[in-house]
Amino acid sequence: MLHFRVSTILKESFEATLKRPFPIFNQRSWLPNRRRRCCCFSTVSCDARLVSSRLNVLHAAPLRTAPCAAPVRLYCVKTEGAPVEPDEHTKKDGSESEDNEKRRNAGILPSLEDLLFYTVAEGQEKIPAHKFLTALKGTGLRTGDPRLKECMDTLKETLKKTSDGVTLDRHLFKKCVQSNIVLLTQAFRKKFVIPDFQSFTSHIDELYENAKNLSGGQVADYIPQLAKFSPDLWAVSLCTVDGQRHTVGDTKVPFCLQSCVKPLKYAVAVNDHGTQYVHSFIGKEPSGLRFNKLFLNEDDKPHNPMVNAGAIVCTSLLKQSVSNAEKFDYVMNFLKKMAGNEYVGFSNATFQSERESGDRNFAIGYYLKEKKCFPEGTDMTSVLDLYFQLCSIEVTCESASVMAATLANGGICPITGERVLTPEAVRNTLSLMHSCGMYDFSGQFAFHVGLPAKSGVAGGILLVVPNVMGIVCWSPPLDKLGNSVRGIQFCTDLVELFNFHNYDNLRHFAKKHDPRREGGDQRQHTFGPMDYESLQQELALKAPLWKKVSPTESNQDSSTTVVYRMDKVAE
């Protein structure tokens, strides 16, 4: 339950200050207008029951005005776990939570559930369930999101008991959303990494259509099962680090990961054994050669885990003391966790086809064995079998986009909140994807797109925008270097439109769109010039939960500060 209070000292100070004029608010600032934002809740938790610590929120922002005017500063400071001492008023008059409970019951302090209801209802006394679900989809969340399971289950059961089976009054609505109210509040208050998700996805759809018109490239035929895919298949899926989802095209058609599994199993190896052990067998440099060359570096190691030789050695490092069946199950479980338990399957036909046509990989395997590249006691033919099996793992664009988002999110699956990989494993994986992930096109891709990615001969491209989202493109026709023609075009167009390139300057690259929220997780924003009345209106619009208080002057730094204090009290 959220409660707000202002200490007696601050109240007295505010009342005294109200009697003074505020000349600064009518002055014009020489600063250009900037997007105004107000501080809101932390995105740390998705469960309202976890909201038990207290927050102190101080909001003030510099308004540079005439020399005679005092500047206004806006800060947003979050403190976790630090107890807040009750003020004198609370100590004398007893429990503050009881007082606030009475005020809430009187309608003075509406709950988060009430505010969410008023937002969706738009003045109506009841909400049609489909209207709520449509509004939820507009934020990027899905009704099948594991984090919303309790909410969706309660909604289904509640609708069965209503008279019309369609609408919810305020009481029933609150009952449905209370278990996930923090996540829902963040969604509807546009506090996710992509605030205006519908606008962003409309651009994604345009980029998809532009790439769809391309007709070049050839479907890979050296593995017979891959040659059976239609060249017209084309899909794009994305998942943000907050779990916002969007798909367009043939996103539910399963396809094999092929080489896209290489960074994933490398991440598993580093997660289990650490960087030093893994790279005692495999290098870190781009090879400058075709991915299936029989060639090692000067230390007689494969150049990196993204070429076939390195991926085969990496396969030998997985669960060395168990059978192939157990190794395969172990990796599959890892990938399912990365995909948020969405579709991860296996194509036995592709596996058999690969093994029957894998003469080059057998040659690489024997070369590695001769050079003693494997851990002692390794059965090379058994390693190759597992290598072919892992390449034959199936995903859809939708499930693979969650895997990419797990990498973008530092190893934590966005839709389950489960930590799957260590930060060390994720950092290493993204670094190697950036330098070696796109076959002989890796340098060009790093230059033009500037994002870690991995392609596969099935036509998939797994693209990671660190700390923002994961994207998977899939289209079977490949260029001469083995990369999806439409996928490369989409990735190039994406970075031309949005400032996702690693070296785009987020502050000064005005020619590109920035769909991310201003200030990121820091929650510190600079306000543009506004008078006091406009400031109050802005705060009332952006933060209706905050009690309006008047500014008070500080004698220490000659600045005007607006103070808001928000306490989270466990029920």
DSSP-derived secondary structure for 247-262: EEESTTS-EE-GGGHH
Looking at domain 204-497, its CATH superfamily turns out to be: DD-peptidase/beta-lactamase superfamily (3.40.710.10)
User: 374: helix, coil or strand?
Assistant: coil
Query: Cα–Cα distance between 421 and 410 in angstroms, integer?
Result: 8
Q: In what order do the strands lie in the sheet with 460-465?
A: 245-249, 235-240, 469-474, 460-465, 453-455
Amino acid identity at 115: L
Are 449 and 495 in contact by the 8 Å Cβ rule? The answer is: yes
User: 281: helix, coil or strand?
Assistant: coil
Question: Cα–chain-centroid distance for residue 116?
Answer: 23
Containing 553, the helix (H) or strand (E) segment is: strand 552-553
Which of 557, 553, 562, 505 has the alpha carbon at shortest distance from 38?
562
Amino acid identity at 8: T
Amino acid identity at 312: I
302 burial type by CB count under 10 A (0-12 exposed, 13-18 middle, 19+ buried): buried
- Token pair listed for 526: 């600079």
Are 89 and 7 in contact by the 8 Å Cβ rule? The answer is: yes
Query: Cα–Cα distance between 156 and 75 in angstroms, integer?
Result: 42
- Sequence ranges of the chain with CATH classification 3.40.710.10: 204-497
* Reported pTM: 0.74
The CATH label, of 1.10.238.210, 1.10.1200.10, 3.40.50.2300, 3.40.390.10, for the domain at 112-189 is: 1.10.238.210
- CA-CA distances (angstroms) from residue 24 to 516, 558, 559? 32, 12, 11
Containing 2, the helix (H) or strand (E) segment is: strand 2-4
- Token pair listed for 441: 């096109």
Region of 375 (left: φ > 0; alpha: ψ -120 to 50; beta: rest) is: beta
- Sequence ranges of the chain with CATH classification 1.10.238.210: 112-189
Q: In what order do the strands lie in the sheet with 255-256?
A: 255-256, 393-395, 344-346
Ordered per-residue pLDDT tens for the chain, 571 residues: 344 443 444 444 444 444 444 443 333 333 334 343 443 433 333 443 333 333 333 333 333 333 333 333 333 333 334 444 444 444 444 455 555 555 555 555 678 898 899 888 888 889 999 999 999 999 999 999 999 999 999 999 999 988 888 999 999 999 999 999 999 999 999 999 999 999 999 999 999 999 999 989 999 988 888 899 999 999 999 999 999 999 999 999 999 999 999 999 999 999 999 999 999 999 999 987 788 888 899 999 999 999 999 999 999 999 998 999 999 999 999 999 999 999 999 999 999 999 998 999 999 999 999 999 999 999 999 999 999 999 999 999 999 999 999 999 999 999 999 999 999 999 999 999 999 999 999 999 999 999 999 999 999 999 999 999 999 999 999 999 999 999 999 999 999 999 999 998 877 766 788 898 543 333 333 333 444 455 455 445 544 444 433 444 334 444 444 444 444 334 3
Containing 439, the helix (H) or strand (E) segment is: none
As a residue count, the chain comes to: 571
Which of 349, 312, 346 has the alpha carbon at shortest distance from 223?
349
Q: What are the E-state strand segments in 129-195?
A: 167-169
